[in-house]
A and B are shown apart, each in its own frame.
Chain A
Amino acid sequence: MKKNIKKYSILFAAATLLFAGCKKDYGDLNNATIQDLSKNASQSELNNLVSGTESGMRNGLNFYLDDVSIIGREGYRFSGSEPRYVLDLLGANSATLSGSNFYITFPWAARYAVVKNCNILIQAANNSTLISSAQKKGYIGFARTIKAYQLLLNLNLTYTKGIRVDVANPDHLGPFLTYTNSLAAITALLDSAKSDFSGASISFPLAGFAGLDDAAGLTQFNRALAARVSVYQKNWQPALDNLNASFFSLTKNFNTGVFHVFGTGSGDQLNPVFIPQNQSGEQRVAHPTFATDIEAGDDRLGKATLRTSPAALSGLSSDRDVWIYTSSTAPVGIIRNEELILIYAEANIQLNNFVEGVKAINVIRNGHGLGNYAGAVTQPALITEMLKQRRYSLFFEGHRWIDMRRYDLLGTLPIDRTGDDVWTEFPLPVTEQ
């Protein structure tokens, strides 16, 4: 019997050993994972990350544009099922902005998801042995540029509350930086991306970068964003320097630039800011002052078309639909030449180069059916004119509120109902506090 037991024990031990060799890790069968891509990503996987980044930039875009445009009194968003557009955002009665509501949590999270994707792209490109170093620079330069842009959009919302810039490790997130330091960090990111692009080879397809999809074009896009940040920082000469390195031109089409694009393909997105004209129920309408403040003959009045019947909700009304995004696949601008011309005007006015400033303003005016600027050629007058041109040229593209804040003019925005407020900034999302 002892002998037998020995035999069985050996057998059993053998079976156990056999069995112990049988461990499995199936991985994620349904999706690619960050872990997979971080190891040694192929060019096509990196390209997928680029397209995913571009695609993700569109998520929650409507919330951002509505937030900025409603507080900047460019328009209203009337919705039967969502009263907070006309209550919280306009500060009706005692309503205030809350850090737990969709208008901050959705766009904020969507931007940081793209930042995360950019960080994954940087890590994946760095760890990949399957691409050349020139290609690597291209991916990293793109990722840093987009990351900077996404951070800037969130900073526009939270302003002095700041943003987290270092978010590479989800378990150890960096601190919130002040507004000034946040802008400096964004500038630094853009600058490092610019040096990535020198000698870079772009081996990925881009959507919405017509004519700007090579290393030179991406550098120009990067500098265009840098120019915008420079004017936010009141760094007027660097703004002009950045413009010179961008696709800025006083003679080129206003709509040269980079856009979010949309499509009807499976898994693609439709323009979330598009609402048909004369719609009832869900409406995006222009603030009444848009039409009353405009100069006669300005073709930009077409950005807000007359409704067949006025829209009204909660003591607010408007007879004009916002009509910039005219189809469900119409593009939404990220940055375009018209803004760069206005930055050129602004920087020159601030540097007291009034000739160049007026020249740029006239390019805009003439481009929209107006005669040359005839007002006083003084810095305050030109700033007022520049801001007015920005208001109409960049209508509903997410600028008015920020411009008014930059020039400390929020108090001049119209109040439609007694007790309404013009907010300076959004609170941080509660889950960040």
Chain B
Amino acid sequence: MRNKLLFIIGWLLVTIIPISLFAQNKTVTGTVTSNNVPVQSATIGVKNSSQAVASDVNGKFTISVPDNAVLIITALGYRTQTINTAGASTLDIKLVEDVSRLDEVVVTGLATSVKRKNLANAVGVISSKELNGTAPAQTLDGALEGKISGAYINSNSGAPGGGVSVKLRGVTSIYGNTQPLYVVDGVYVDNSATSGGLNAVSLAGPGGSQSNQDNPSSRIADIRAEDIESIEILKGASAAAIYGSKASGGVIIITTKKGKQGKTNITLSQDLGFLKPIKLLGTRQFTAETAATLPGDPASLTAAFNAAQSAGHIYDYEKEIYDHTPLTRNTLLSMSGGSDKTGFYFSVAQKKDGGIVDRTGYSNTSVRLNLDHKITDNIKIGITTNYVNSSADRGIFGNDNAGVTTGIALSSTPDFAQLHPDAKGIYPDNPFAASNPLQTIALMENNESVNRFITGANLEITLQKSSHSNTKFIGRGGVDFYNLQTTVLFPSVLQFESVNKGQSIQGSTKNLSTNYILSLVNTFTPSDKLTLTSSAGVTQETGNYNNILDVASQVIAGQSNVDQAGALNVTQLRTKYLNSGIFIQEEAHIINAITLTGGLRFDRSSNNGNVSKFYLYPKAGLSWNLVDMGIIKPGLFESVKLRAAYGQANNVPAYGSKFSALGVSNITGFPGLLVNTQAGDANIKPERQTEFETGIDFSLLKGRLGFELSYYKKNIFDFLLLTTPPPSSGFAQKWVNAGDLTNHGFELGLNARPVESKNIVWNTSVNFWLNRSKVTKLIVSPVQLGSVGGVLLGTYQIEQGKSATQIIGLNGQGVGVLGDAEPTFQMNSYNEVTFFQKLSLRFLWHWKKGGQNVDVTQLQNVFGSTDVDYDKPSSIPHVPHGVAQLMKVGSDAHQTVETSTYLRLREIGLYYTINKLPVSYIKSITVGASLNNYITITKYKGYDPEVSNFGTGFSSGVDIDPYPATKSAAFHVSFNF
């Protein structure tokens, strides 16, 4: 197959007749500015030619052109400008900022794009500046938080190294993948989370050594935000249908920076900062009387308290463990530039962040080289390569049934417990918990280290070109390979290792994902009133995941190799898939005002029950610009657009859900096969999503004010569910396509420039969004999932006629609905104020109103009798607050189903740029300071309302003794050479 492809590409290459280059006879220099601020990386292209250069950091460029050549100047975030060079050799180009973003080019297909003003969908775009230019987050996934209208994003853990759960426009699946597809420069990158096997120690999940409660990081965290030029977010099937079987959770399209023709631009930037916990919960201060009420013998407890008090050995262990201020640093060196044929972008970056808990932290080293080359005027090739090495030490946090995670151990450890090591470094056992958290932190290891290589190629061949028609072959593809090593070590001296005598768990994961798209795109312009863009092509995606986990126990003291152990248990998990698709798409752009889009994608997947069946996913879109049409007179309104789009996408079943497997067993040395508890469904179908979206966009006051209002309705059919069949079938669980659910919601966006004076410019954007969901059909009885303690503490329940994310629990009279994870609404506001063209203040507010979490963290402290409010009076006379809370457990779960409203100043940064420098080799210096997540206004009782300790699946918002979330402050300096 591969050879045949090469043959086809080769054949295409030889059929191209190179078109001779234009004669060049004039050199034009110029400066690109906007409001007197130089615009960097603007593209200065020559009309009817593929020639282009880029402006440097001071906005300057030089280009050699024929006389009378027309230049087209484009830059991300600015209106496109056209200038005739006749009779000019120096140009002063003043760009107008595109506040309403009408000129932004947005993808509409696998190989086509369109200007936003003709777009039928509300596609979110995050620029490099918004992503990373204010107060950089630790990892890319964290940098998305609060920036996507229509998204609900939660951190799985505050531990260094990222890991977030992203839901675009509501829940799109229950047991299937709910996370969006990430595409970096055409390469589908893997974002799976691999557990390091901590469950073997924490016993948080049932059976086995792996669980979604291990809070592993997600692999999208490996990508460096600094390399990113822009991110486009396709939020649902109406925009993403062309991505087919992986698109039901939406698609996040990441474009990295590319080199452009012009002087080589070198940037060296250095960040230095620190982290702090956002919040500590505080701990209960014991007295001799309250100490005696703890479990155990009252007399010896009192004695222990008195001894500790008289020796001055009363400790706030929460503070001691979490209240640290570790340093963070990040260095980036990037170079970009190019000649008329070749452009390059090269970057090398290193980051090292400490963690607020000792012996935790994150480091990431990344090298990227992006090359673009024009073989002839008709053949362009682009290659992107990225090598990443990252390492995260994440500690042990979260849910646990063995009393070993830091939070759970702390929750029952009073302030008079003596946990510090003696002079020989030997830690005492913690009499109040199964583990001594100081000892665990000092001696354990939980590391994830990744070596990853992502490379993509992009080939564009102009097959045919005439005044009315232009046909291109576009081939894109890439490889994403990583090797993930997880190392978990719990030496035998730990308090809780008395039975297992030391555990060493080593996991090795290899993942190879590949994908390619081959397409033909024809643009046909029969008249200036009609443009037809036709594209068709084939796609293929493969994945090959192989995880081997060695769980060794009875590890010899001082050793960590898994063979240095008395017992070894090995598990291996492999998954492999091949998805293939065929697509055709037609876009018609009529009288510059109406854009019609229609597309079909046929998809099949090796994960489906029927591997040869093609599922059809259609899409269609219409945008109608009333101003360009002449229905509304230009004037107050610059543009008024009505739009509607419809599309379908799917979510393939999980690998293996079509099989009924037999597990391996052994009886006196005879290997046996015994049927597993999970039954597959040989006819399993993909979950199918349809989305209808409609909206109105308008911009007025010459683009100083832009509105975007969208309404969408998403239906998910045949969602996958693990159900409980009658056990006499021999199975305890069975995969079924169990029902339908629907999401609908609004998104309202506003872009404005309220202030535009000589010395102050203020740009602002405000977004408002909300989503509601409902299970419309369920063929099985209601299913509870994602719970820590079922209805006792609050649990999700999938039930016909109810919100998909409802939380039910005991309500005092019985079982009832106590909440819903879905926020009432969310809002954000990004602002940039520029003073005197040099000083820039940027900040981002994020407000989430409503929505409940299952917060067990605080109640866990009550269970452990260490809650800070334990002794406060309650509404019941003579009953302390903690006891009153305990009295409610078993009859009322309201106290753990908690509203997680918050208002957060997510990012704020102040930057100053110095352009005029005494030395000529430095073009500019930018200095800045920033704060990330610094101000949070919330009544939430846990560490952070933005939490999801049960991983990236359906059940977000479970809060159970996580690694506390952090805020950061940093100083930035960057030099341009």
Contact = CB atoms under 8 A, between A and B. Distances in A.
A164 B666 contact: no
Contact of B611 (A11, A24, A33): A24
Contact of B606 (A20, A26, A265): A26
Nearest to A27: B659
A52 B665 contact: yes
A22 B540 contact: yes
Interface string B597-625: 00000001010000110000000000000
A432 B668 CA distance: 34
B667 A261 contact: yes
B727 A22 contact: no
A108 B538 CA distance: 51
A116 B730 contact: yes
Interface centre among B538, B604, B660, B667 (most CB of A within 10 A): B667
Interface string A1-45: 100110010011001101110111111111111110100000001
Interface in B704-732: 724-732
Interface in B445-504: 463-464, 466, 469, 471
A265 B730 contact: no
A28 B679 CA distance: 13
A108 B574 CA distance: 32
Interface string B570-606: 0011111110101000000000000000000000101
Contact of A56 (B471, B674, B728, B731): B674
A19 B519 CA distance: 13
Given A15-B518, A19-B540, A29-B574, A116 B8 contact: no
A146 interface: no
B1 interface: yes
B887 interface: no
Contacts of A8: 463, 471, 520
B661 A31 contact: yes
Interface in B607-654: 611-612
A348 interface: no
Interface string B659-691: 111111111111111111101101000000000
B176 to A, nearest CB: 18
A267 B569 CA distance: 9
Given A26-B577, A29-B576, A56-B665, A205 B670 contact: yes
B728 A268 contact: no
B424 interface: no
Contacts of A50: 672
Interface residues of A, number: 67
A29 B658 CA distance: 12
B673 A18 contact: no
B538 A35 contact: no
A219 interface: no
A28 B606 CA distance: 11
Contacts of A53: 672, 674
A176 B243 CA distance: 49
Contacts of B611: 23-25
A267 to B, nearest CB: 4
Contacts of A94: none
Contact of B727 (A30, A49, A431): A431
Question: At the interface, is chain A mostly helix, strand, loop or mixed?
Answer: helix
Size category of the B interface is: 35 or more
A418 interface: no
Nearest to A165: B728
Contacts of B662: 31-34, 37, 49, 52, 117, 120
A173 B726 contact: yes
A12 B11 CA distance: 13
Contacts of B669: 263, 265, 268
A11 B5 CA distance: 11
Nearest to A33: B659
A12 B665 contact: no
A37 B11 CA distance: 47
A12 B661 contact: no
Contacts of B464: 1, 4
B4 interface: yes
Interface string A346-375: 000000000000000000000000000000
Interface in A83-117: 105, 108-109, 112-117
A297 interface: no
Nearest to B538: A19
B471 A4 contact: yes
A84 to B, nearest CB: 16
Interface string B83-95: 0000000000000
A55 interface: yes
Given A28-B661, A429-B727, A48 B673 contact: yes
Nearest to B604: A23
A51 interface: yes
Contacts, number: 200
Contacts of A56: 665, 672, 674-675
A375 to B, nearest CB: 44
Given A32-B662, A50-B672, A207-B667, A173 B518 contact: no
A16 B667 contact: no
A315 interface: no
B393 to A, nearest CB: 30
Nearest to A260: B667
B730 A25 contact: no
A24 B660 contact: no
Contacts of A49: 662, 672-673
Contact of A173 (B604, B663, B729): B729
A80 interface: no
B665 A267 contact: yes
B144 interface: no
Contacts of B572: 30
Interface in A57-74: 58
B536 interface: yes
A170 B731 contact: yes
B730 A170 contact: yes
Contacts of A429: 726-727
A55 B675 contact: no
A54 interface: yes
Given A108-B727, A207-B667, A113 B677 contact: yes
Contacts of A266: 568-569, 666
A26 B573 CA distance: 14
Nearest to B679: A170
Contacts of B661: 28, 30-34
B745 interface: no
B823 interface: no
B540 to A, nearest CB: 7
Contact of A35 (B466, B659, B729): B659
Contacts of B205: none
Contact of A265 (B1, B463, B659, B666): B666
A12 B535 CA distance: 11
B341 to A, nearest CB: 26
A171 to B, nearest CB: 8
B428 interface: no
Nearest to B613: A23
A30 B469 CA distance: 52
Contacts of A48: 671-673
A263 B667 contact: yes
Nearest to A45: B673
A4 B462 CA distance: 12
Lowest 6 CB-CB distances: which A-B pairs, in order?
A116-B730, A52-B672, A51-B672, A31-B661, A170-B729, A267-B666
Given A31-B676, A55-B667, A117-B662, 8 more contacts: A4-B464, A28-B659, A31-B663, A32-B661, A32-B662, A207-B670, A431-B724, A432-B726
9 contacts: A20-B582, A24-B606, A28-B656, A28-B659, A31-B676, A48-B673, A167-B729, A263-B669, A265-B666
Interface of A: 1, 4-5, 8, 11-12, 15-16, 18-20, 22-35, 37, 45, 47-56, 58, 105, 108-109, 112-117, 119-120, 163-164, 167, 170, 173, 205, 207-208, 261, 263, 265-269, 429, 431-432
